[in-house]
């Protein structure tokens, strides 16, 4: 299993290297988060042996055993975080990649203060407008929007959490131009929020197995890759 994952890992790295070269970027600035949702601890261990150093999970409950079993990696929560799972998430994950409301950001910050932790978080933006996706609405974060001003104030005032940037999911399309336009919009929003909050937001988590080239071209620093590394997810038992 480790050999198969290592071969796919090399292919993903080659794709990133080529996309970065086309964009005039340093490929070392793009880090891969291997998304192991739906896969067991054996897959995580095999991927670790293959050289992966960052892993992402969508659900706190599913992730817990994996985080405990493979602690010597960087764990990211990349799925929607329910407020009632926030305490456990702050304990388990050094990266919380889908903070989708000011209330949740402030809840996580309060927990981080209480637990003497400093999780890094990413603010999720709903790039598609689909009700099935979580995140701040594009209209909330437009130039001059009151929602963006409120978010900038919250980002500037939190005490323990480290807000590192934005996260978004591209449109479900095979058209690279549409994906690239969505990722360019996320980059623009990050730049504007960075100025308004008065602090650096260096991370852009965007791009997955099918559209990572478009994301790299528009400045992704984190790409979340599952299928291209591990194959199709196993059906639930």
Q: Which domains does the chain have, with CATH numbers?
A: 2-228 (3.20.20.10)
The contacts of residue 159 (CB under 8 Å, 6+ apart) are 109, 113
Nearest to 162 by CA among 207, 199, 205: 199
HSE, side-chain direction, 13 A CA sphere, residue 77: 31
pLDDT on residue 1: 85
The contacts of residue 133 (CB under 8 Å, 6+ apart) are 126, 127, 169
- The pTM (predicted TM-score) of the whole model is 0.94
Please report where in the chains the tokens 């960075």 appear, as a residue: 194
* 145, 151, 153, 158 alpha-carbon torsion, rounded to 10°: 180
Q: List phi, psi (to 5°) of 119.
A: -65, 150
Q: List phi, psi (to 5°) of 101.
A: -160, 155
SS (H, E, C) 7-39: HHHHHHHHHHHHHHHHHCCCHHHCEEEEECCCC
pLDDT on residue 234: 60
pLDDT on residue 233: 73
- Supply 168's token pair: 């978004």
Please report where in the chains the tokens 């689909």 appear, as a residue: 130
- Supply 9's token pair: 């890992």
pLDDT on residue 237: 33
What are the average pLDDT values for consecutive 10-residue runs of the chain, which has 237 residues? 94 98 98 97 96 97 96 97 96 97 97 98 94 90 87 96 97 85 96 94 97 97 97 61
CA–CA distance, 189 with 117 (Å, rounded to integer):
28
Q: Which residues pair with 123 in a beta bridge?
A: 99, 166
């Amino acid at each position: 299993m480790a050999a198969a994952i290592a071969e796919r890992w090399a292919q993903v790295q080659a794709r990133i290297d080529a996309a970065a070269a086309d964009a005039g970027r340093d490929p070392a600035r793009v880090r891969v988060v291997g998304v192991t949702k739906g896969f067991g601890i054996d897959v995580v261990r095999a991927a670790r042996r293959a050289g992966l150093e960052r892993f992402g999970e969508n659900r706190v409950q599913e992730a817990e055993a994996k985080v405990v079993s493979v602690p010597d990696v960087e764990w990211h929560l990349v799925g929607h975080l329910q407020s009632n799972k926030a305490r456990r998430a702050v304990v388990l994950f050094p990266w919380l990649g889908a903070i989708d409301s000011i209330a949740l950001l402030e809840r996580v910050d309060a927990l981080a203060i209480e637990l003497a932790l400093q999780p890094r978080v990413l603010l999720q933006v709903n790039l598609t407008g689909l009700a099935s996706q979580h995140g701040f609405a594009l209209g909330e974060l437009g130039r001059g929007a009151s929602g963006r001003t409120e978010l900038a104030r919250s980002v500037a005032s939190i005490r323990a959490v480290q807000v590192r940037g934005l996260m978004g999911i591209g449109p479900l399309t095979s058209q690279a131009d549409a994906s690239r336009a969505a990722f360019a919009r996320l980059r623009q929003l990050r730049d504007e929020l960075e100025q308004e909050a008065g602090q650096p937001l260096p991370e852009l988590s965007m791009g997955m197995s099918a559209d990572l080239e478009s994301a790299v071209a528009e400045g992704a620093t984190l790409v979340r890759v599952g299928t291209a590394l591990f194959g199709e997810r196993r059906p639930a038992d």
